[in-house]
A = this chain, B = another copy of it.
Amino acid sequence: MRIERLSAKAEDYLETILRLSETPRGARTGDIAAALDVQPSTVSAALKSLKEQGLAEYTPYGAVGLTPKGRQVAEDIAGRHVSLRRFFTETLGLSQEEAELAACGMEHDATPLVLDRMGLLGDFLRQNPALLGQWHAARATAKGERAPGVESGLDELPPGVRAVVVGIDVDSGLRKRLVEMGVTPGVLIAVERVAPLGDPIAVEVRGYRLSMRKAEAARIRVKWRPGLI
C-alpha cells in the first residue's frame, strides 16, 4: 500500500518511537536520541518531518506519538526486526547481540517472502527435536566452538534442543526451587524461548515450564549431543 518507500532512517525513528511509547515514560526526544545514537536536535528535526508526512503526532515540548499510518509502518518494521532476530538466534544459533546487530540493519531490506521462508524453515527444524539437535550439533562442530558433548551453561543452549543437566552452581534460593521442580543432575532440560533482550529465559523440564534470568540459567550446567529426545 505504501507507494513511496520510506527511508531507512525514517523507519528507524518510527520503530523507536513505537517501542518507547509503550514504556511508562513515553517517547521523549532525549530517549529517542539516545536510542538512535544521534543528537537531540536531530530528533527534533526528524519529528517535524515525520509530522509533515502524517506519520507522527507531535507538539513542541509535548508528547510524541504515532498516527495510525505511522503506527502501521512502525509495527511492520518491528515485526521484521523480531522475525529476523528470532531466525538468527533460534534457527542459526547466534547470540542475542550478534542477532540484534544484524537484524537492525537488515530489517529495512528483508522482503516479506524472505521473512516468511525463514520462519517456515525454523518451524520445520523445531518441529523435529532430533533434527534440530543434529543441526545445532553440525554447526557447532563445524567451527569447533562448542562441540556437542561438551558442557555449557543452560543460557548457551539453542532453544528447542534437549540437554542433560550435569550440575547446578547455585548457592541457595534458586537451587532449592530448582530441586523442587525436579531439576537435578541427569534430567533432560530444554530452553523453550528466550525473550527478545536475552532475558528472561523460558525453560521446560519434566513438563514444567519455568522462567529464569539469564544469569541464573548460566549456573545450570548442561551437556548435549545430537539425537537427545
Contacts and interface: CB of A to CB of B under 8 A. Distances in A.
Interface of A: 88, 91-94, 98, 101-102, 104-106, 108-111, 113-114, 116-118, 120-121, 124, 131, 134-135, 138-139, 142-143
A85 B15 CA distance: 27
A139 B123 CA distance: 10
A93 B117 contact: yes
Contacts of A106: 106, 109-110
Nearest to A99: B114
Contacts of A120: 138-139, 142
Nearest to A113: B98
Identify whether the interface residues of A are mostly helix, strand, loop, or mixed.
helix
Given A106-B106, A109-B105, A142-B120, A114 B135 contact: no
Nearest to A137: B124
Given A121-B121, A124-B135, 16 more contacts: A88-B114, A88-B117, A92-B117, A98-B111, A98-B114, A101-B111, A104-B109, A105-B109, A106-B106, A106-B109, A116-B143, A117-B139, A120-B139, A120-B142, A121-B135, A124-B139
Contact of A102 (B88, B111, B143): B111
Contacts of A121: 91-92, 121, 135, 139
A185 B113 CA distance: 33
Q: Which 4 pairs of residues, A with B, have the shortest CB-CB distance?
A: A105-B109, A92-B117, A102-B114, A120-B139
A94 B115 CA distance: 11
A160 to B, nearest CB: 14
A114 B143 CA distance: 13
Contacts of A124: 134-135, 138-139
Contacts of A117: 88, 92-94, 139
Given A120-B139, A124-B135, A142-B120, A109 B113 contact: no
A37 to B, nearest CB: 14
A118 B88 CA distance: 9
Given A114-B94, A124-B135, A124-B139, A105 B108 contact: yes
